[in-house]
Amino acid sequence: MGFSSLYNLWTLVFPAALLLYYLFRKRFQPKTVSSVLFWQADRQEEHVSPFIRNLQRNSLFYLQLFALLLFVWLLLGPYLKQDRSSGVPLFFVVDSSAAMLASPGGTSLFDSSREAMKKLMLDEEENRPVTIITTGEEPAVALEAKSPSEAAAVLDKLRVNYADPSMQQAIELVRAQLGEENAEVHIFTDRFDRSEFKEETEGVSWQVHANSRPAANRSIVRFGAVRSGGTVTAIVKLSSDSETAQPGTVLLKDAATGTVLAQKPTSGEPDEEETIAFKDVKTDAAALSAELQTKDDYAADNVSFALLGNEPRAIAVDPSLHELLRKAVEAIQEDIITDDGNRSVPKDALRITRSSDALTEGDRPVLLIGRVDAESEAAEGDLRFTDDPLFSVAAPKEMYVESVYPPFEGYEILARIGDSPLIQRSPRGDLIFLADLEATDWPLQPTFPLFIWSAVKSLSEESATLGTFTPMQRKSVLMASPADLYDMEGEYLSTAEAANTLEAPARPGIYRAADGSAEKLLAVQLAPSQHTVNTGESYTAGKLAGTTGTTTTRKPIVWPFVLVLLVLMTAEWEVQRRRGYPY
């Protein structure tokens, strides 16, 4: 048995009061007097009609009967129907990504959207419920209020969460919240194209408030660092969205201490990409940051972070692979182990191999190039890449692929040639290139060594660190127990929900995750999409008939009856006290 309204236990006050009343009631001492003639109050009412006399005589019975009837009445749950005018709900979808921090006009897009929202709310009628939804990995209801003024009062609590916005998901959330109701939805973002907008607009008015001012933006689109032979090699890739040249300086810093290790100027020519390499930087820092010092409208993407493994891992290369691969690997690391099956390969070495068995052997991810367990088929079509960090330094523009091997089922596909997968990633993290290097012209292209560098780096990073996260990203990690997250100043931030998952903090930076036994670093980087500040068109879709409607609500009426019941009980008590009291 359970109780649905346990909070109503407070009504025990009433019986308690009655009990107290009983305990402290008046006790009349009996005293015999010659006559009560002068004591008795007017008893005129006794000489009334038989009906009333009957009522008086059986008053206790009638009162109890009435109380019980009232009780039954209450159990029926009486209610009144009330027509209440209620406003059409007001929804605000706020892009909370880092790009909203850009301030092309002095104030950031986020702040100006907030101002616009406040203005909208204060102009609205009071009876409209307000819901604010923030975007992110998972869009969330940030605020629910009964009236616009109530919502406006707490609007300042909204914060940017840096996460990659998913407008479609946010709109789905709005849809889920709405059901069949009419609503007015305002979307505040930098760009949300009409072409992407596929919503049904019947009964719902959608107003997209987009950013109209282009922002002069320079950003670090890619920053990577590799330790080899005691020195660190770092590559910073810069892009420029501005219309004029914006010269600046790129600083290479120790992420933990903030000491500048190296710096290089950058010209910042409009619409041009620049790659700046730092070589032979002597440091034993575990994480580096690259900072672009320039004057632009968007500061959040001017900093990037990279993690450095403590010890460079040995690389074991299958000798049957293309000679140029070996050359490319040698450019990254000097000591290469030839993995010809005869020599023993260290357990923690990074294997580059043709043998598909390597996917199941060992506990470290490998780079698999081609397959020996399957036949290749002719490939045709264009090359297409996903938005993976692996290709962010240098993506091959055009590549001739003669034939590809069949893909592994269930593995993530990073690149395709035509319809056939070309590059895959296993759940463990193995990278698989589904073609023989001889069958492509990629090794001849300048992007090839950079790809190998990226691949080696990402594969080796996985082991020594927790890798790179996008803000608020939830990823599986290998930790012994639920990890505690600290920032580089050592301040505690949060604790993971489980041992094998970790949700990254919102703010880009380097963080420390500590389980009971080990401490691993993780970097939080802005998603690639957050490196640009978009401009878009503001528009309205759909129409709303009116901003008010009526809803019929059922208002339960319990209290008046409970009060009557109480009065009845009191009357009963009084009758009992006067008449039926056993002296």
Partner 1 sequence: MTLLFPPSLAARIGRLAFVRYGGRLGHHKGGHLSKKTGASLEFSDFKEYHPGDDIRHIDWNVYARTDTYYVKQFLDEQELRVHIVLDASRSMDFEGKWPFAQQIAIGLGQIALKNGDGVSISRTADAAEKPVKRKGAAQSKAWTSRIASFDEPSGNRAVTDSLAGIPHGTSLLFIITDALEPNDVLHDWFRSLAARCRDVRLIVVRSAAEQHPDFSGDLRLVDSEDDRQAEVSMTSSAEQAYLHRAEQHKKKLLESAAKYGVDVLFTSPQTGPENVFSRQMRDARWVR
For residue 42, what are the CA distances in angstroms to 36, 38, 127, 240? Answer: 12, 10, 58, 103
Query: Nearest 5°: phi and psi at 148?
Result: -60, -40
Angle between helices 447-464 and 323-332 (to 10 degrees): 60
CA 366/CA 69 separation, integer angstroms:
80
Q: Minimum distance from CB of 67 to partner 1 (Å)?
A: 25
**What x-and-dash track marks residues 516-545 binding partner 1 by CB under 8 A?**
------------------------------
CB of 28 to partner 1, least distance (A): 4
CB of 579 to partner 1, least distance (A): 10
- x/- mask, partner 1, residues 408-447, rule CB under 8 A, reads ----------------------------------------
135 touches 144 (CB < 8 A): no
Name the token pair of 579. 């008449």
Cβ distance to partner 1 smaller for residue 10 or 28: 28
Q: How far is the CB of 17 from partner 1 (least distance, A)?
A: 21
Q: Which is nearer to partner 1, 25 or 264 (CB)?
A: 25
Nearer to partner 1, 32 or 360 (CB): 32
- Positions in 27-56 near partner 1 (CB under 8 A): 27-41
In the complex with partner 1, the residue whose CB is nearer, 40 or 244, is: 40
How many amino acids of this chain bind partner 1 (CB under 8 A)?
18
Helix (H, G, I), strand (E, B) or coil at 303: strand
Which member of 6, 9, 13, 26 binds partner 1 (CB under 8 A)?
Answer: 26
| 73 or 581: CB nearest partner 1 | 581
Rounded to a whole number of angstroms, the minimum distance from the CB of residue 53 to partner 1 is 17
- Beta carbon nearer to partner 1, 31 or 347: 31
What is the closest distance, in whole angstroms, from the C-beta atom of residue 563 to partner 1 in the complex?
28
Q: Pick out residues in 560-579 that bind partner 1 (CB under 8 A).
A: 578
Q: Say if residues 471 and 485 touch (Cβ distance below 8 Å).
A: no
Helix (H, G, I), strand (E, B) or coil at 284: coil
What whole-number distance in Å separates Cα of residue 16 and Cα of residue 24?
Answer: 12
- Tell me how far, at minimum, the Cβ of 565 lies from partner 1, in Å: 27
Q: Which is nearer to partner 1, 5 or 35 (CB)?
A: 35
Look up residue 257 and give its two tokens: 């201490």
Please report how close the Cβ of residue 578 comes to partner 1 at its closest, in angstroms: 8
489 DSSP 8-state letter: T
- Choose the binding region for partner 1 from 11-19, 24-32, 412-420, 447-455 (rule: CB under 8 A): 24-32
360-375 per-residue burial string, b: 16 or more CB within 10 A, e: under 16: eeeebbbbbbbbeeee
Token pair for 261: 């290790």
Could you write out the DSSP letters of every residue in 88-120? Answer: PPEEEEE--BGGGG--TTSS-HHHHHHHHHHHH
E-strand ranges in 117-247 read 130-134, 140-145, 183-188, 204-209, 218-228, 231-240
Nearer to partner 1, 51 or 583 (CB): 583
- CA 59-65-71 angle, to 5 degrees, is 135
* Smallest distance, partner 1 to C-beta of residue 16, A: 24
Choose between 28 and 559: whose C-beta lies nearer to partner 1: 28
Q: Which residues bind partner 1 (CB under 8 A)?
A: 26-41, 578, 583
